[in-house]
Structure 1
C-alpha cells in the first residue's frame, strides 16, 4: 500500500506534487513485481496499481479509514 494524502483527499493546493510522489513510489514498486494499492477518489492516470476508493469523500477520517482497510489486505508494512 502506498498512501499519499493530497491524492486521496483531492487537496487542490498540493495535488500535482502528490500525484508525482504517488506515481514515483507506486510505479517503482510495481516495476519490482509488487501489487500496489492506494487510496484515492479515483484511479490516477500514470499511476500503476489498484485504487481503493475512500469512503466519505476521503476527508481526514475517510483517509485514515481507507489506510486501515487496505493495510489489512497487505502482507508487509
Structure 2
C-alpha cells in the first residue's frame, strides 16, 4: 500500500498530465486572489484608523509681559 509521499507524487503527476494547459490560467487566478486577499487585509487593519491624518494640534502662543527694567 502506498504511503502519503507516494500518493502526493501520484496526485502531482495526474494534475500535471490532465491540467497542463490550464496551469498558467490557474496560476494567474491564484495571484489575483492573493492580491485581493492582501488588499482586503490591509483595508481591514486600517478600518479603525482615520483615512486622512489629522493636523497637529495648534498650541496657544505664550504671551510674556514686558520687563520693567
TM-score normalised to structure 2 length: 0.29
Structure holding more helix per residue: 2
Structure holding more strand per residue: 1
TM-score normalised to structure 1 length: 0.26
Q: Whose radius of gyration is greater, 1 or 2?
A: 2
Higher RCO (CA < 8 A, seq sep 6+): 1
